Chain A
C-alpha cells in the first residue's frame, strides 16, 4: 500500500503521544499529503478558530509515494489554518524530512494544543518523545539543526524547525528542513511557534514497504524517470539553470512585477538572473556553486551559491561565506525586482537570512516593496524605520531583513505582512495580495490567466495552486496567449485540479513540466491497492479543491475575496507587450464559477458537492 497505515497524534497541552490507524477510506478518496491531511483537518477543526490559538491543529503529512523510488518522492506537506490569511494553509517541502518520517513508520503527525513551555518532538522509529527545548528557543533554524544533531549524536537525523521568525510571530514564518528547504508560505511556521513547538527531529530505519506490486512499481518508476531525463526542461533546463532562468523571460514578456507592481519590467532583471549567477564576478568566482537535488529527485533544480566575501553584506560576517541554498526565481524576484534592487549578492544574503531564521522571502520581499512605496509617498517617515528606504536601496533591504529576522524595531511591523502594514498607513490598496497573502513573481496584467489563479487560490495569492504560466508563457503542455482572457477559466480549473492530485501524491509539482496525470497514474496504481483510474484521479483533484473552498467559505470568505488589488484591474501596464492592459478578472470569474459548479457567490452548489462526494 505504500502506507504505513499509522500516524501520530501529539497533544502538546497534555503532553501525550498516541498512535492511531490511518483512515484508509479517506486515503482512497483523498490520496495523501495535501488531500488527506486537509480531510483530517476539516473534520477535526472548526473553521472559525483563531489560527494562533491552541484550538488550531497542524498536520505534517506524507504522500503514498513519499520515500519510495518514484522520482522526486520526498515531499511532505503541512496543513493548518494560516495566520496570514485566515484561510486553509497547505505548504509543501522537499529535502529529506518527509522520506525520513515514512522510514520511521509514520504517514502523518497531527499536532494539537499548545505546550506550556518550548518543546521539540523526537521520533526515532517507534520511540516518540516530547522533549524540552528551552535551550533551542531563541536559536536560528541552522543552530537548531546543528544542536539537535549533536545532542542525538546522529548526523542523519532530519530536522524540521522554526527560527526566530516563527517564535516572534512573523505571520509568514516558514518551517525549514535540511537547512534550506521550506514549507514556506502562509505562515505555517507561525502556527508552530504559537504552540511552543520548536522542531521535529526524525530518524527512520524501517524503509518503505507495502508496495502493492514491487516489480511493476520498479518498472514504471524507471520508465517515468526516463521521461523526466529525456525532457528538455526537466532533463536539462532545470538542473542547469534552475527556476531562476525565468527572470529574463518574464521580464521580456512584460510580466515581471517591479517596485510593488508599479511597473511590469525591471531594468536590472539581467543582473539578478540565472545567467548572472553563472557569470564570473570581479573576485573571479561565479555566484552559483552547484545544483542540488532533494530526496529521490532526478531533476535537481536547487541552487547552491556562495557570496562574494568582500560584499558589504558579509565582509564582516564570515559565517555567511559558505555555500548555501539559493537563489530561486521567486526569492530573487521578491527580494529584487519587487523592490527595484538589482544587487544579486544582497539578494542572496537576505535569502540566507530567510532560510536561517525561517521566513517566506516572497511575502517578506513583497512587504518590503509595499513599505518602500509608502516611504516614497511620504506616509512612512525616515524616523519610523530608522533609515532611508527608497526603491532600489540594497542597504535598506538588508537592514529590513535583519530587523525582521531578529524581531527588532520596524521589522516587527514588516513581519505582519503587506496587508496589515498598508492598512496601518491607510493605503490597503497598495498591498499586492489576495486574501492577505502576497503575490509571487508574475504580473497578471501580462499573464491574464494567472490573475484568476491568484484570485481563486485557496491559500491566498499563489502560483503553485494553478501554474498557468506553464501554458501561457512556456508552452507546456500547449502554448496559449498570455494577453487574452479567452479560455483561461478552463485552463485555471484544469491546472488547479491536476495540481491538487500531484500535491497529494508525495512527488514534486515540478514533474508536471514533463509528466501529466497519465504519468502519475500508473505509479500510483502499482503502489496502491484499489482503483486508480484517470477518472478517479480527475474527480479527486476537483474534490480536494472544493473541500478547501468549503473550509474557507465556512471560515467567512465569500466571492468578494476572490479579488485582485485595484492596481492590477485599473492601472494599465506601462510598458512591454501588455502595455495598456489591466487584468480581466471580472470577465473570467463568472465563467470560472460556472464551470466549477458554484453559485454566483462562489459556493459549491448542492449538486456539485453531491457529485464530488463531499
Chain B
C-alpha cells in the first residue's frame, strides 16, 4: 500500500534529496506497517521526533509501536517547534 510521509523543519534533511523541496515522499509499505516501522529506518535522532501526526491526529510516543497505517495515510513529523 502507499502512504505519504512528510518531514518538516530540520527533519527535511532526512528525506531523499529529490523529496526535500516539497517535504514529502510517497512510500510503498507492507500491510501491518506501524508508525515506528516507517520512522526507524530514517535514523532521525529520537529527541527530534516530537510531533507525530497521522492524518492530522497526534500519535503519542507510547502508541507509535502499535499504531498501524492504512492505504493513503499521511504521516507528518516535526521536531520540537513553537510559534505565535
Residues of A in contact with B (beta carbons under 8 Å apart): 231-234, 236-238, 240-246, 248-249, 252-254, 270, 274-275, 279, 329-330, 463-464, 467, 469-470, 473-476, 479, 481, 509-510, 513, 576-577
Contacts and interface: CB of A to CB of B under 8 A. Distances in A.
A577 B56 contact: yes
B51 A245 contact: no
B78 A270 contact: no
Interface in B6-25: 6, 8-10, 12, 21-23
A249 B78 contact: yes
B57 to A, nearest CB: 5
Nearest to B24: A270
Interface string B62-73: 000000000000
Given A248-B23, A249-B78, A577-B55, A329 B84 contact: yes
Given A252-B6, A253-B53, A329-B83, 12 more contacts: A236-B79, A237-B79, A238-B83, A241-B81, A243-B83, A243-B84, A249-B51, A270-B22, A275-B8, A330-B84, A479-B60, A577-B55
Given A245-B9, A245-B81, A254-B56, A279 B51 contact: no
B47 to A, nearest CB: 7
Contact of B56 (A233, A245, A576): A576
A301 to B, nearest CB: 8
Contacts of A254: 56
B80 A233 contact: yes
A91 to B, nearest CB: 14
Given A252-B76, A253-B56, A474 B84 contact: no
A479 B50 CA distance: 11
B47 A244 contact: no
A274 B9 CA distance: 8
A234 B80 CA distance: 9
B82 interface: yes
A464 B47 contact: no
B44 interface: no
Contacts of B57: 577
Nearest to A244: B83
Given A246-B83, A249-B51, A237 B9 contact: yes
Nearest to A482: B58
Q: Name the residue among B12, B23, B60, B83 with the largest chain A CB count within 10 angstroms.
A: B83
B68 to A, nearest CB: 18
Contact of A245 (B6, B48, B55, B83): B83
Interface of B: 6, 8-10, 12, 21-23, 47-48, 50-51, 53, 55-58, 60, 74, 76, 78-84
B78 to A, nearest CB: 6
Contacts of A476: 82
A380 to B, nearest CB: 32
A18 B62 CA distance: 63
A223 to B, nearest CB: 21
- Closest A-B pairs by Cβ, 7 of them: A243-B83, A232-B80, A246-B83, A577-B56, A237-B81, A513-B82, A233-B82
A249 B77 CA distance: 9
5 contacts: A245-B83, A249-B81, A275-B9, A275-B12, A275-B23
A476 B53 CA distance: 16
B55 A233 contact: no
B23 A236 contact: no
A240 B57 CA distance: 25
Contacts of B51: 249, 473-475
A574 to B, nearest CB: 13
A54 B41 CA distance: 66
Contacts of A248: 6, 8, 23, 76
Given A232-B48, A240-B10, A474 B82 contact: yes
A341 B80 CA distance: 28
A475 B52 CA distance: 11
Contacts of B56: 252-254, 576-577
B53 A470 contact: no
A464 B84 CA distance: 7
Contact of B81 (A233, A252, A279): A233
